[in-house]
Structure 1
């Protein structure tokens, strides 16, 4: 029998890790130090997610729009991403976590693309949890890319217009084989989605916190999950219908 606590646990958590630069400014550090501190926060969150039974964790590391940042900062972020992937491969093996990446890889260096593909291949068979890192990712890019691939199949007469529905479209999006996002957490105090997983968060519960990402703790992560558990998710039904479904289940 499923543990009642597990039934209310989000299957898929997504995090917009915001506030690294403001953390560095607050502590009178170099900008790069803020990003380094932020990188170190992710590991305990990943381990804790696996421990409590989260099936999928997706984090926003570098957006499509982040290419507009100063070249020196972009270069540093790419360097930190490469370091993080090297560090994560043995950790993923230890905890049996599948590591994935989503985003437009054509804008990344060839060496980083190769490293990402190797990490995915080495960890693909693990089933304890899936950690997805969004790099050079944007929700509008994701939807546009899926549309292009579906259109190409229609043009090649592999699909008809009648074949296209929301389920087929989902399968062509990033994370199409994972559960939809249940809980979206954004650190740093801003109340916006920032072009992240626009389709996948259609019915996600949103949790915004002023806490800067390098200061985000396991305790606050647990609090966000408790807030999620206390919310009624209706998916278009009425409260009365949801209560009846819960009783029947």
Structure 2
């Protein structure tokens, strides 16, 4: 359990990595690793909400994941459906608001309907925002935002002086703040095209724990590590300490 005196980040992002390796270590099919990973999602979402985190972004399926074997992609889509079916009531009743970042047009129609139903049913919840990155790529998000911004500038909807100020409004879920802490499991040390705009000043935390094994205690350790960081945002240590 995190000490009450610790500062809780407003927005935590997680790259949930290691499901396949978890299964391989146990001589199990990859699908079993993904199923265990879904169980971890449920536990960590609840734990983060209880801790007081207001925004939790999970990298669930990237634009590059479509290049995986067709059977695995189908399994992942099926697990997403199962998660939405089993968690819709919990999400709504526990005060969590569901959001999606990414191009969901490529998802199954039934999946899109479930997502939109939960988003609508939970839109007024304020306990925590659960932001699922689905068919998401950071570069794609920036290119889409730049294209939409350029279109509105060309049509005269916005002035040249507003371009920098309004860029964020063209991202997915523009009201979601920058990520304070990014956690990546499985020992990989990279950000893999995740939330590039919102990671500009994030603290990065990498753990060798595979996602299915990632526990509430592991999450707490990431928060404790975050509290040992000095977030300067371009300032000196002296300026930060004198604030």
What is the TM-score when the length of structure 1 is the normalising length? 0.94
Report what 1:61 is aligned to.
60
State the alpha-carbon separation in 2 of the partners of residues 5 and 121 from structure 1.
35
State the alpha-carbon separation in 1 of the partners of residues 174 and 63 from structure 2.
20
The change in CA–CA distance for 1:4 and 1:90 in structure 2 (over 3 A counts) is closer
Structure 1 residue ranges without an equivalent (≥5): none
Q: Which moves more between the two structures, 219-228 or 150-159? A: 150-159
Report what 1:242 is aligned to.
240
Structure 1 stretches of 4+ moved >4 Å = none
Could you tell me how far 1:162 is from its partner in structure 2? 1.6
Query: Counterparts of 1:19-58 in structure 2 under 5 Å?
Result: 19-58=18-57
State the alpha-carbon separation in 1 of the partners of residues 43 and 105 from structure 2.
30
Contact 2:88 2:118 in 1 (8 A): yes
Contact 1:89 1:123 in 2 (8 A): no
Query: Counterparts of 1:77-96 in structure 2 under 5 Å?
Result: 77-96=76-95
Report what 2:193 is aligned to.
195
Structure 2 residue ranges without an equivalent (≥5): none
Aligned residues: 241
Report what 1:181 is aligned to.
179
State the alpha-carbon separation in 2 of the partners of residues 136 and 179 from structure 1.
20
Are 1:210 and 2:208 counterparts? yes
State the alpha-carbon separation in 2 of the partners of residues 20 and 123 from structure 1.
29
Report what 2:228 is aligned to.
230
Contact 1:105 1:113 in 2 (8 A): yes
State the alpha-carbon separation in 2 of the partners of residues 5 and 64 from structure 1.
39
State the alpha-carbon separation in 2 of the partners of residues 173 and 139 from structure 1.
10
SS at match of 1:196: coil
SS at match of 1:164: helix
Could you tell me how far 1:175 is from its partner in structure 2? 3.3
Are 1:219 and 2:199 counterparts? no
SS at match of 2:5: helix
Could you tell me how far 1:4 is from its partner in structure 2? 7.6
State the alpha-carbon separation in 2 of the partners of residues 35 and 233 from structure 1.
34
Could you tell me how far 1:94 is from its partner in structure 2? 2.2
State the alpha-carbon separation in 1 of the partners of residues 36 and 147 from structure 2.
38
SS at match of 2:242: helix
